[in-house]
Chain A
Amino acid sequence: MNVIEINNLTKNYGKERGIIDVSFNVEEKEIFGFIGPNGAGKSTTLRTLLALIYPTSGSAKIFGKDCIKYGPEIKKEIGYLPSEVFYYDKMKVIDLLKYSASFYKKDCSKRISELADAMDLNLNKKIDDLSFGNKKKVGIVQGLLHEPKLIILDEPTSGLDPLMQQKFFELLQEENKKGATILFSSHILGEVQRMCNRVAIIKEGRIIQLEKISALQENNYKKIRVQTTVKLDENYFNIDGVSNLVVSQNMISFLFKGNINTIMKKISEIEIINVWVEEPDLEEIFLHFYEKGA
């Protein structure tokens, strides 16, 4: 079953582009990643799903119901975390969370304390006094306290330290196991790869790729540099999948695409001093998809 169905969704801001012809589905119990550089239209898409903005054309359905027409009804089962969290500054954290819970007509107090414990959040502070990261935590608790069936997160990890990110992803995975569907946007490929089953890539308002994460990994480039003890034959690494090969003295660098085991075996057969395996950054990946699309 599809929890989210987006059909040819288009949104213009006056003359400016928002998103163009965006279509994709998110299945039940899936963790779906939505990645793209800043300004590509991630937030626009998510905000349309939440009926914060109205589409210029096209439509989207959540739980099989139109997200604009049945907005208030379907939002009962949605938890949302905006990319930047702003709350009523003068309120205490606990008051804000209680206020938030009051919209859902069920008792969430137990859940609030559980989540606050897990995220190590002080409930008695004023929101005004919190750091950005702590505000984000309030946002996370606020988004999860009513045990939503669908969790929508807009760049959830920005501002959280790595330890908290880890904790947060564990929380999400727990929710996912309990049956929640998760859609989250990000511009960090690593976290999407770690978390998601499938991913949609958006660039300049259009979806340019929709893939299973496993497929994305197969297509993934690695940036590899090897420092050897002795000067190697220039063509030692000249195998299938290697490009941009540069050999200078005993430093070799290249881009590799394909099964990572092949190249690791190749490296293990020679005497090396050091090796660097790096993720190419998102721009490089996009470049790659862009070339493929053209």
Chain B
Amino acid sequence: MFLHELKAYRKSTITWTLTLVGLIILFLSMFPAISQEAEAFKKLMEGFPEEIRLALGLSVENIGSILGFYSYVFLYISLFGAIQAMILGVSILSKEVREKTADFLLTKPVTRTQIVTSKLLAAFTSLLITNVFYLGAATMMASLVETKEYSTKVLLLLSLTLFFLQLFFLAMGILISLAVPKIKSVLSISLGTVFAFFIIGALVSTTGDEALRYLTPFKYFDFAYIMQNSSYESSFMMVAIAFIVIAITASYLIYSKRDIHAV
């Protein structure tokens, strides 16, 4: 069952992996140009109102260094990554109902818990594959374009936030797919949710209020903090883990109690 599921996601995994890898290669290949013109670029940036700079996640001082630049472009990478994970989360259980194959699966000698576990593991593996390739591409590109010294550890820490963010949205997607009785379009629900959180994230940045950061997973990992301390902020990490655990446990419970209706 696990292999069957994994196969079913093969195409989307490959597409998303290529997209993310492509994006990071594109972004980082722009870096040499930007770092050379760093002074001019900073001037240009200072022309923007501060709120906009904050919302976009631009910090003028850092843009010339590879990590600073990386953390800026990473915001968009993480947006794509979140969308991938969310779509995966929403679809893994709901697609059986939509494609009307639930009857097939559930009349086999398997428990519902086994079904959820297989599907979760398959989704997890799919995300893992994406991240491994992404990490490879990111570190390789960074070493190619940056001539100065930089901390690989911080780069990895920054990149790994993609994985945590994806797990968060995966869990959220599953929970939503079970809470909403009938899902017509996976794409619109996924995009809607992710963009909502993304925009909240941008707004929260402009206020600078620490407490508000709990509202959106996009703000759980503060790139400036990671760069300074080479570590994550534990309180946000806890919240993220707690959310993932609760969402997945709830999904197990809901799914095993649910009636599978005829079509």
Residue tally, chain A, CB below 8 Å to B: 27
Q: Which residues 39-98 of A sit at the B interface, judged by CB distance below 8 A?
A: 43, 47, 50-54, 71-73, 75-76, 78, 80, 82-84, 86-89
From the candidates B100, B107, B110, B114, name the one contacting A52 in the complex (CB within 8 A): B107
A104 at the interface (CB under 8 A from B): yes
Say yes or no for B184: interface residue by CB 8 A criterion: no
| Contact, CB under 8 Å: A99 / B99 | no
The total number of A-B Cβ pairs within 8 Å is 61
Tell me if A52 and B109 are in contact (CB < 8 A). no
Complex contact B257–A54 (CB within 8 A): yes
Question: Is residue B234 within 8 Å, beta carbon to beta carbon, of the partner chain?
Answer: no
B108 at the interface (CB under 8 A from A): yes
Q: Which residues of B contact A236 (CB under 8 A)?
A: none
Number of interface residues of B (CB under 8 A): 22
Known contacts A71-B111, A72-B110, A75-B108: A54-B259 contact under CB 8 Å: yes
* B182 interface hit (Cβ, 8 Å): no
Which residues from chain A contact B104 at a C-beta distance below 8 Å? 86-87, 100, 142
Task: Report Cα–Cα, A53/B257, bound state, in Å.
Answer: 9
Residues on A with C-beta less than 8 A from B106 are 50-52
* Chain A proximity of B181: nearest CB distance (Å): 12
Query: Would you call B109 and A73 a contact (CB within 8 A)?
Result: yes
Asked if A103 is at the interface of the complex by the 8 Å CB criterion, the answer is yes
Query: By the criterion CB–CB under 8 Å, are A84 and B99 in contact?
Result: no
Collect the chain A residues with CB atoms within 8 Å of residue B260's CB: 47, 52-53
Query: Quick one: which of A47, A51, A78, A88 contacts B262, CB cutoff 8 A?
Result: A47
**Of all chain B residues, which has the CB nearest A54?**
B259
From A43, A50, A86, A104, give the contact of B100 (CB < 8 A).
A86
Complex: how many Å from CA A52 to CA B261?
Answer: 7
Which of A52, A78, A103 sits near B103, CB closer than 8 Å?
A: A52
Cβ-neighbour of B4 out of A76, A84, A89, A99 (below 8 A): A99
Task: Specify the main secondary structure of chain B where it touches its partner.
Answer: loop
**A78 contacts B107, C-beta separation under 8 Å:** yes
CA distance A83 to B261 in the complex (A): 13
Closest partner residue, chain B, to A88 (CB atom): B101
Nearest CB of chain B from residue A77's CB, rounded to whole Å: 9
Known: A43-B262, A84-B263, A86-B263. A50 touches B101 (CB 8 A): no
Q: With A52-B103, A88-B101, A100-B104 in contact, is A83–B109 under 8 Å at CB?
A: no
> In the complex, which of the residues B99, B108, B110 contacts A86, with contact meaning CB atoms closer than 8 Å?
B99
A100 near B108 with CB under 8 A, answer yes
Contact of B107 with A86 in the complex, beta carbons under 8 Å: no
Residues in A95-137 with C-beta less than 8 Å from chain B: 99-100, 102-104
Are the CB atoms of B109 and A76 closer together than 8 Å?
yes
Distance A70 CA – B102 CA, assembled complex (angstroms): 19
Nearest residue in B to A46 (C-beta to C-beta)? B262
Q: Are A87 and B101 in contact (CB under 8 A)?
A: yes
- A212-B6 Cα distance, complex, nearest whole Å: 50
Chain B 82-117 interface mask (CB, 8 Å, partner A; 1/0): 000000000000000001111110111111001000
> Which B residues are in CB contact (< 8 Å) with A88?
8, 99, 101
Are B259 and A53 in touch, CB under 8 angstroms?
yes
Residue interface bits B232-260, CB-to-A below 8 A is 1, else 0: 00000000000000000000000001011
- CB <8 Å contact, A103 and B262: no
CB distance from A69 to the nearest CB of B (A): 11
Cβ of B261 to closest chain A Cβ, rounded Å = 7
Q: Are A83 and B107 in contact (CB under 8 A)?
A: no
- Which residue on A lies nearest to B108, using beta carbons? A103
Which residues, 98 to 138 on B, are CB-close (under 8 Å) to A? 99-104, 106-111, 114
Separation of A87 and B104 alpha carbons in the complex (Å):
7
Contact B109 A103 (CB under 8 A): yes
Q: Are B99 and A89 in contact (CB under 8 A)?
A: yes
Q: Which residue of A lies closest to B262 (CB)?
A: A43
Q: Which residues of B contact A103 (CB under 8 A)?
A: 1, 108-110
Roughly how many angstroms separate A104 CA and B107 CA in the complex, as a whole number?
11
Q: How far is the CA of A73 from the CA of B106 in the complex (A)?
A: 12
B262 touches A83 (CB 8 A): yes
Q: How far is the CB of B102 from chain A (nearest CB, A)?
A: 8
Given known A52-B103, A86-B99, contact A75–B259 (CB-CB < 8 A): no
Q: Which of A43, A75, A82, A142 makes the CB contact (< 8 A) with B109?
A: A75
B→A interface (CB under 8 Å): 1, 4, 8, 99-104, 106-111, 114, 257, 259-263
Measured CB to CB, the residues of A under 8 A from B are 43, 47, 50-54, 71-73, 75-76, 78, 80, 82-84, 86-89, 99-100, 102-104, 142
Q: Which 6 A-B pairs have the closest CB atoms?
A: A86-B100, A53-B259, A103-B108, A75-B109, A76-B109, A80-B107
Q: List 11 additional A-B contacts (Cβ < 8 Å) besides A47-B260, A53-B260, A54-B257.
A: A50-B106, A51-B106, A72-B111, A78-B107, A80-B107, A83-B262, A86-B103, A86-B263, A89-B99, A99-B4, A103-B108
17 contacts between A and B (CB under 8 A): A47-B260, A51-B106, A52-B103, A53-B260, A54-B259, A73-B109, A75-B108, A78-B107, A84-B100, A84-B262, A86-B104, A87-B104, A89-B99, A99-B4, A100-B104, A103-B110, A142-B104
